[in-house]
Every structure is written in structure tokens, then in C-alpha cells.
Structure 1
């Protein structure tokens, strides 16, 4: 204990001595001065520096990753759950319908009408087929308030043979027709029952045709076809028409050029003209060449072409050369929803006695037949889909036609004896004029499903004539509605409506010597034919996959409208029939 006290006392004395010495030294050497700061320190960027050394940490200790082993300790657990076996869904398969090669249809209706169709096709071998068809429609008449018989008869027959080989396909066809009509539109009140006595207004058309075609694979000449038709009537009229076409596809410097060569000859005669016994002869021969090139790039499609036609009027000994544009383009703006298209086209139409009589069977056998020169037809349109089951097509066009064919009522010869059955204001002749036509229209197609379809079309026309006062018998509007509905597997139904707007016609007398009679005049009386709506419907029952029975009604509104002046149509009509499909 004493030893510890001693050491403590000695250390304390030594610390006191050193502290006293230090205080005295400080007071002796340090001077107190005042420092004046003249300018504060302003650092610059150049005063800064960067340490360019990268620190390295190396403590000499290396740590290795320790491997870890995982193990599962499973314990079985009892369970009573048993999963059910999966079963794939199966779509209901519909049995494919049996297709037949032959078809027959027969129906009877009011006005003692008969409708018959027969279509035949038979495979002789793997490469040969033979077939044909027969179409017949007739009625025994019965329209009210007529002075003459209104019965008609229309039969057409066609037979064909076809052979298909590896690189060649060809066919032949032979046909004929027999048609009987009556000029029953004797104009009233100019004529009465007394005038109608002894007038036989019946007239007959007959004809025959022969044709064929050839198609070649991997050849410059890809297709050729030819057709000859003879047509005449029981008034001594006769017409011969021959038409041939050759189609070639040639590649020139990576450009595919399609070329069509057309040869068309028409010759015919009528025993007399309308007012006297002077005969009428007509004949035309033309050759046309129409090359075209189609360009397709993504959504754009363009067809560039031109048509050159040489025409020789064999009766007048006159020749002309016509050049027509043949340009069409389309561009897909929005996939299938919107496609815009347009073009300008032209051509020479060979009118014939046959084509005229099929459009209007009440023409007189005293016609002047001329070709129609369609100088151009410019059009633009939009088409596409509104939805997956609804499509549309809207179009506007403007065309110019020289020698446009118009049906005009034959005037009644007044001051000389009427010797023919078609001289009672009950027949039609042809006049020609330069006509421009502006048309606007569209089509709406609805396919709700496989069982229901609907189609609506409508077109409006504005005509401008050059020499004639009106565009005779051309309607200012046309519209139609088609509907088909498969009600069940057995029942089906449908309807169609046709609307035709106003048309212009003439009526009156024609004078040879201008007799002094104030009641009649040389100027024909213009007449406006009202528009009409014709509604038709049908319903049918499928007995089996071969036999169907059906009923039809026509002109539901029971209108006695005039499609042609002085020619009222049959009013309400009913028809029942059956169709049968079969194989040989």
C-alpha cells in the first residue's frame, strides 16, 4: 500500500513540473499579431483535380461458394379423389347433300300457263360429257278488255358435247328456238271489235344455232370460240350472224399482254318496210383487236387497254375505224371494307333482229338494223363490306352512245288501207339517236347465314337526246329486291320485287298525203307510261333429296300495268309445280 502511494505522489509532482514549464515557454516565444484579409479566396475549375487511380481491394482472402444440397422428405397422404377422364368435343357433322346431274321442272297456273324445264348431263367417260336443256313457257291468254288474242308460246332447245384432255378442252353445241306471239295491243279507242274481226295478229319466230370453243394449256393461243345463228319469222324475214373470237396471252419483256381478236358478220333482210312493200336489207362486217395489260401492286390493280374496230357496212359500201379506251383501276383502301374503282371503256355493239325480238317480241318485221357506237362509258364507284355478312356497291357513270337503239311505237297508217296485222298501233319500230346517259345506283347484299340472303339494287337514269324528243321507252329508274329464306330443312320461301319508273311513248296516226281532216294530225301524241311495281313470292316443301313441290304467285298487287304501250300484262297469277333431280 505504501508502495502505491509513493508512485502516485511521484507522478503527480512530475506532471506539475512539466505543465509549469510549458506555460512559461509559450509566453516567451509566441507574439500576438493581427492578419488583414485583402481579397477572399476565389477557387476556379483549374484548381480542381481528379484522382486517376482506381482503388483495388485485395485483402488476400478468397471466399468459395459453399455447395448446398437440397433433399425432399415426402410423406404419402391417402386420398379418395379420382379424376374423371377427359373427352374431346365433337362437332355435329352434317351429311353432305347428294348432287345430281339432271333436273326436271313442271308447273301449271292461271291463264292456262305451262312452265317446263329439263336439264341433262351425262358422263360418257372420264373425259367426255354430253348434255342439253329444254325450256318452255306458254299461256293461252285471257287478259281482260283486249280485242285480239294474247296467247304466247316460247320454247328453246340446246344440246352440247364436251371433251376434256390433259392440255386441251373443247366443246360443241347445237340449239334451236320456236316462239309464237300475238300483236294483241290493238290501240283503243281508235279501233273496236268490228275492226278486230278477221285480223290474225299471230307471228312466229324460229331459229337455229351452232357453235363451239377450244381451250389450250401452255400455248400462245389460249382460247378460241365461234358461233353461228340463223333467225327468222313467218313474214319472210331472215338473218345470219357469225361471230368468232381468239384470245392470246403473250409475255413481252416480263409484261403479260392479253389480246382478243374478234370477227363479226351480220346479214339479213325484211320483205317490206312499214309503209310500203319496198324490201329492207342490212349487213355489217367488223374486225376488232383489243390488247390489254394488267398491273397489280399490293392494293392497286390497273388494267390498261385499247380497242380498235374496223366496220364495213356491206349494204351502203361504207367503212369506218373506231378506237375505244379500255382502262379500269381499283384500289383497296381498307382491306375488304372499302375499295374504290373506276374506269373508262367503249365498244361497238352489233345489234341483231334476234336480240331486238327477245327484248321486245312485239316489234314489226320492218326494221332497220344498225350497230351502236358506244364512244365511252366513264364510271367510278365504291364497294366493300359493312360487316362480315353485308356488302355494298355504289356506282355512278356517264356514257355517250351514237346510234343508240330505241323502241318507238309505230304510228297508225290513216289514209291508205292497212294490209298487215301490225299496222293497228300494236307494233314497235326502231329509231336511232345520239344519247348521253347519267346513271347513279347501288347494290346491297345481305347474307345473314346460309339460310337467309337478300339483295337490293336501284339505279336512276337521266337521258339527253340529240334528234328525238324523248328517249323512247327507257325508264328513268329501275329497282329490284330479291329474298331467299330456308325456313327449315324441308320448307323454303322467297320473294322478288321489281320496280320500273316512267317511260315515254307516242301514239297517233301517220298520213301519206295529209288529208284535210281536223280531227287527226301528223304530230304524234306523246304519252307517259306510269311506273309499276311487280311483287312475286314463292314457297316450297322438300319431300326428299330428289323431289320438291312449290307454289308461286306473281303480280301480287294485281296491277294491270303496261310494260309497252297498249300491252297490259297479266294481273294476279298463281302457279303450282314440282321439280325432280335424278341421275342416269
Structure 2
């Protein structure tokens, strides 16, 4: 049994849950609205388990703690949000089946501190919104990662084109992102990325039908090195990705759409740990490039009770990230090993490929909610 909360409580609540395997969950929020429409609050979340201590000799307990504080301000021209968050994920590498060590240190701890800010203008006149994100990560094996990004969206919406009934929306996204990662064990990989993004687009809209045309430009400066390289590998590269989408609304129930997109994603140690916490603390990082991705679909609302969306797509990608299980690093027979040296960790590997996808969703809204 696992304690589970549905997340229906929004402000000023305290929840507690317990389950088998020693699971304990705590969840709390306290907030207060001050003068001048300013809201301040704190969040706290805790989840722990004793693991499978009756089934295996090795320790598999783990816990996750998150503490946060936030400020929301609602002004005359826009709204502002600032939040800070500290997270500690403490757990043990496990999966030791070939060997049965008893009293062995399998500890891994990941500390991460985040500060994010956001300002959204109510009107979409010139400056639409600005987002600033930053994070600082350190783990038990002294891996460190610093990440920061700034994204500004400029826009001019609702420009009427003659008497055609067509409105034009113009948008320009400008983004900067930097990631620096250093590892201190095994091959001692280190990487440094700085990426600049420009995303201009125009949208022609009439009713629920529209046509959006745009492009995405990325300018990436990357540096990689480790103990196996004779010298640091540097690279400067420019990318162009298509962006277009259309929707033909035959009726509220049937809206046919399609398009093409692409982009560059920086793979960070923090993001990889979210997908797989049992990574060895030494990763070779490189970005994933979606050269293009075509898609078509059908969506709509039926009697305000059902909302559906089905789509299919096909794309080409470079440096797709996968996880590969690691074998034992030290081939000498000994139980005096590091926590990550029991064939119990994973590493990121990359490959090119074509990707096909089919997606579908169906939502039901009971009639009483719409009355």
C-alpha cells in the first residue's frame, strides 16, 4: 500500500499518510494574502520508505524532502511570481543480486536548490512575459551542476487584416540557457553548454481555425572533457528548426490539425536523475536534436461532456538519450567496493533514429459540473 493524495487541497492544509514497507508521507502548505494583493506561502513535502529490509541484506531505504517558499503579486499591469525550493533526495543504490553484502555503504544523496521568477503582462502588447530559472545541484560523490535560463516572449496580438475577419498574432521568443556540470569519480566527465534561442512566429486566426508559421534558431556553444580525452572538445554550431501548425475547425466536435516542429534539448544531470535516480555519478552529457517532427491529429468537444484528442507523428532525431545498465567497474573479486560498483547503476548513451508516435486522450466531464 502506498499513501496517495489527490492534490485537491490548494492552500493552508496539512496531510499525513502511512503505508507498508514503512512508508510515511507528509504534505503541508501555509499561505496568506497581504495588502496590495500580495500572497506569500511555504510548502513542505516528505516521503520515506524503509525499503525491502526483510528480503535483502543490503539497505534500500530512501526519502525525499522538499521545502519551498513563494510570493505572488497581482498588479495593475501584470502578475509576478517568485519561488525558492530546496530538495533532498536520499536513497541507496540497490539491485545487488550476484553478491550479497551485508554492512555496506550504498548511500547516494542529491541536494538541489532552485530559484525561479516569472512576470506575465495582462496585455500582449510588445513584452508578453519573462521567465528566469536557476538551479544548483550537488550529490554525495561531489558532482556539481549549475543551470540558469532566461526566456522573454515579445508579442503583438489581435491585429485585424482588413475586413476579412482574420486576426494576426506575432510572437518572438528569445531565450538564453547555460549549464555547467562536473563529476569527480570514474572518468571525471565535465561539460559546459551555452545555448541561445530565437523563435519568431506569426499566426493567422479566424474563429477556431488558424495557421501558424515560424522557425526556431539555436546557437550552441559546447565544451566536453574527461580523463580519457587528450584535450577538451569544443564546438560551436547553429541550428534551424521548422515550426508550423494549422487547424481546420469543421465544427466544435471535429477539429483537424497538423504541423511540423523540432528543437534542441540540453540533457542535464538533474533531468536525468528525475528519470532514473540510479545513475552513476559520472555522465557524458550531450544535447538531443529533433531535426523535424511531422504530426496530424483530430480533436474536439462533444456536448461539453467529452473532450478527445488523437494524433500520430513521425520525426528524425540525433543523440537520442537512453539508459544503459553498467557492469562491475572493478573486475577484481572483492566486496570492498564503492556504492555504485555492484552492477547496480546506469549511464546515459546516445544514438540516432527515426521516431514514430501515436497519442490519444479522452476526458469526461460530468453533467453536474457544467450546469
Query: Which of the five TM-score ranges fits, normalised by the shorter chain?
Result: 0.7 to 0.9
- Check 1:385–1:228 CA distance in 2 against 1; reply closer, same or farther (3 A cut): closer
Match of 2:192 in 1: 283
Mapped partners of 1:281, 1:116: distance in 2: 37
Matched residue, 2:246: 329
Match of 2:310 among 394, 403, 423: 394
Equivalence for 1:63: none
Find the counterpart in structure 2 of residue 200 from structure 1. Answer: 105
Query: 2:252·2:302 contact (CA, 8 Å) conserved in 1?
Result: no
1:396–1:441 CA contact under 8 A, matched in 2: yes
Larger radius of gyration between Structure 1 and Structure 2: 1
Tell me which of 311, 325, 338 is aligned to 2:220: 311
> What is the Cα deviation at residue 119 of structure 1?
1.9
Which stretches in structure 2 are left out of the alignment for 5+ residues?
Answer: 1-8, 162-167, 225-232
- Please give the alpha-carbon distance, in whole angstroms, between the structure 1 residues aligned to 2:316 and 2:56: 39
Give the whole-Å Cα distance in 2 for the aligned partners of 1:366 and 1:199: 21
Q: Distance in 1 between matches of 2:273 and 2:253?
A: 42
| Residue number in structure 2 paired with 1:76 | none
Measured in 1, the distance between the counterparts of 2:304 and 2:134 equals: 45
The residue that corresponds to 1:422 in the other structure is 340
Q: Distance in 2 between matches of 1:143 and 1:197?
A: 11
2:330–2:341 CA contact under 8 A, matched in 1? no
Is residue 271 of structure 1 aligned with residue 152 of structure 2?
Answer: no
| TM-score between the two structures when normalised by the length of structure 1 | 0.56
> Could you say what secondary structure the match of 1:213 adopts?
strand
Number of residue-to-residue matches in the alignment = 344
65, 72, 78: which one pairs with 1:162? 72
State how far apart, in whole Å, the 1-side matches of 2:81 and 2:312 are.
39
Q: Does 1:127 align with 2:37?
A: yes
> Contact 1:146–1:184 at 8 Å: present in 2 too?
no
Q: What's the counterpart of residue 436 of structure 1? A: 354
Does the residue aligned with 2:35 lie in a helix, a strand or coil? Answer: coil
* Higher mean displacement: 249-258 or 260-269: 249-258
Q: TM-score, normalised by structure 2?
A: 0.86
Within the candidate set 359, 364, 368, 1:446 is matched to 364
Structure 1 unaligned spans of 5+: 1-98, 453-584
Question: Secondary structure of 2:58's partner?
Answer: coil
The superposition leaves residues 142-161 of structure 1 with CA deviations (integer Å, 9 ceiling, x where unpaired) of: 26643421111001121111
- Matched residue, 1:470: none
Q: 1:127 to 1:448 in 2, by over 3 A?
A: closer
Q: 1:158 to 1:332 in 2, by over 3 A?
A: same
| CA gap 1:304/1:123 in 2 versus in 1, 3 angstroms | same
Match of 2:228 in 1: none
1:27-106 correspondence runs (5 A): 101-106=11-16
